[in-house]
Structure 1
Amino acid sequence: MLRLWGRMSSINVRKVVWAVQELGLPSVQRTDAGGQFGIVREPRFLALNPNGLVPLVEDEDTGAVLWESNTIVRYLCARHSLGNLYPEDLPARFVAEQWMDWQQTTLNPAGRDAFLQWIRTPAAQRNDALIAASVAVTEPLMALLDAHLARQPFMAGERFTMADIPVACEIHRWWGLPQERPARPHLERWYLAVSSRTGAIGVLDQPLS
């Protein structure tokens, strides 16, 4: 049994749900947590994740308790798809790792303010300057991705790997904002391919909230 805590409105929870579905794991129990669902400040939850954030995963088979989304994706792919979603070749593995880290440390912070203003801030309270600043730093990163994907079909090379999951979740969030965006043909080709995967059902076809 794999236990997962987290609400589907969280981009980080969506990554883990996609990984679970991509791997076809049969025994997963997800509990809505965080935001309006609470739970994350309860003593039992904090004992497992002192950060009080989602997602949180508890793997009863191995005893692993993990709470960073990209780490959870890596763990699940390494355990259940070694040599496929989790590349076994060391250089290939760390190419995938670097893009996962880049999503979390570079792409996500760049787009955060625009997302928070458009989706989680009432219209009368929105700060247009924050949105503009977020767009200004995010669109060059989108151009970088488009150029990268002009050279290869997937984030880490010739096939779909764990690296595609967090980046695609970020693109889903950015392209879901009600704002104009430049055409990115290579990024659009890749996103269509990954979002059409069975594992992405219920993840990349959901509205932002």
Structure 2
Amino acid sequence: MLTIWGRENSNNVKKALWCAAELGLNFTHINAGGAYGKVNEEPFRSLNPNGLVPLLQDGDFVLWESNTIVRYLAAKFGQSPFYQQDLQARAAAEKWMDWQTATITGSFRHIFWGMVRTAPEQRDMALIETAIGEMEQHLNIVEQTLAKQPYLSGEEFGIGDIPLGSFIYAWFEMPIKRQPRPHLERWYQRLCARPAYQKAIMIPLT
């Protein structure tokens, strides 16, 4: 039995929920974190001492860290091209997973918290504008890649698209000015056409 812990409005939890939906998995979802609490209580802390979501339980096996959960689900339940069997093709897709965490998360957090979770009169617009500028620079790299291939994972949709894809919905939904990027926008529209993306990602920003 699979169980995914984490509030559905968390961008990192969305990765796990989207991946599970893409794979057509049967699982139990337990809202935790934020207004739902639970993460500072037992049994959650005994499962994840970090007190963070998402958390995956697969029988007696427990796993945390969102990108690792996506890799695990894809490796166990997925098939090519979603989870490439060729080592180099899989590594080329997976690099985008680590890139999202290391490069995108910091700037995105300032924008998201500022524009979505902070009252307008309390926003630090200088910080937000700086973060938007950083995001624009990062997304230039994505634009250049998507000019050569339809997905970050390559010619077909795969695990490399999930981390940034989980964040990019908010990027396009937040009331901010964005530079036009036709290749990024086409990629985003392809994601929006996927039923699993609609179910797990395209929910109100909170």
Q: TM-score, normalised by structure 2?
A: 0.97
Distance apart, 1:122 and its partner CA: 1.3
Distance apart, 1:140 and its partner CA: 1.0
Which residue type is aligned with residue 29 of structure 2? Answer: R
Residue 152 (1) aligns with residue 145 (2): no
Q: Deviations over 1:68-99 (max 9, x none)?
A: 00100000000001433111101111111110
Partner of 2:4: 4
Q: Deviations over 1:35-81 (max 9, x none)?
A: 00000001211111000011011001xx3211100100000000001
| SS of structure 1 residue aligned to 2:159 | coil
Partner of 1:73: 70
Partner of 2:47: 48
Partner of 2:186: 189
Q: Distance in 2 between matches of 1:146 and 1:174?
A: 14
Percent identical residues: 45
Q: Distance in 1 between matches of 2:35 and 2:131?
A: 26
Q: Deviations over 1:120-177 (max 9, x none)?
A: 1111211111101101110011121111100001102111111111111111121221
- Contact persistence 1:85–1:162 (CA under 8 A): yes
Q: Distance in 1 between matches of 2:97 and 2:86?
A: 17
- Contact persistence 1:176–1:207 (CA under 8 A): no
1:43-192 equivalences under 5 Å are 43-60=42-59, 63-192=60-189
Which aligned segments of 4 or more residues in structure 1 are displaced greater than 3 angstroms? none
Total equivalences in the alignment: 206
- In structure 2, the gaps of 5 or more residues are none
Q: Distance in 2 between matches of 1:70 and 1:17?
A: 12
Q: TM-score, normalised by structure 1?
A: 0.95
Q: Distance in 1 between matches of 2:105 and 2:83?
A: 22
- Alpha-carbon RMSD across the aligned residues, in angstroms, is 1.0
Distance apart, 1:203 and its partner CA: 2.3
